[in-house]
Amino acid sequence: MQTLVASPRIGLRPITSKNATMCLTYGRFSSGVSVRSLQTQVRAQPEQKTPPTVPGSEEELPPWVRREKERELQAKEGASGLPWGLCLLFSVFTAIAAVGSIFEFVDRNAIFGVIQPDNPVWAPILLFFGVTGFPTAGYLFIQGVNGFNSDAERQDKLDGYL
């Protein structure tokens, strides 16, 4: 005979084995046992209670308590540098400025219509932005991605996935 488990939400549900499962069809299981006889057998079994949890254990804290503890720790450590979203945004701006500086230098256009190509500071300004812009954009991009990954990992820990 197959063992049934009673649950207040689900009612009777069979414990399945590898070889056969019992399915409920019109008040009878496919094995021919009536639902009433199984209900009386299930009621006769004592309920299994879960052991009490130890208060103060880290795994049993509610999510809102864990979030508050994490915020307190983060406030003590202090935030260093820019938020990851600003790092990514400034990375994009810097890369665009570097590419634009190279195009302005090649096409010999004035910088913002103010500094003309015959000015002695025209070439150093454009070369400075063109040469230093790409490494700066790469650095800001890496900082932004690392910041996002650390925030995502912290949120996964708070949600209980890690």
Domain regions of the chain by residue span: 4-44, 61-159
Q: Could you tell me which residue, 139 or 113, shows the higher pLDDT?
A: 139
Of 5-19, 51-65, 74-88, the least confident = 5-19
Question: Given this model, what pLDDT does residue 26 score?
Answer: 45
One-character DSSP codes across the chain: ---EEEETTTEEEEPP-SS----EETTEETTS-BHHHHHHHHHHSPPPPPPPPPTT-GGGS-HHHHHHHHHHHHHHH---S--HHHHHHHHHHHHHHHHHHHHHHHHT--BTTTB-TTSTTHHHHHHHHHHHHHHHHHHHHHHHHHHHHHHHHHHHHHHT--
Q: Could you tell me which residue, 105 or 8, shows the higher pLDDT?
A: 105
Name the pTM for this structure: 0.55
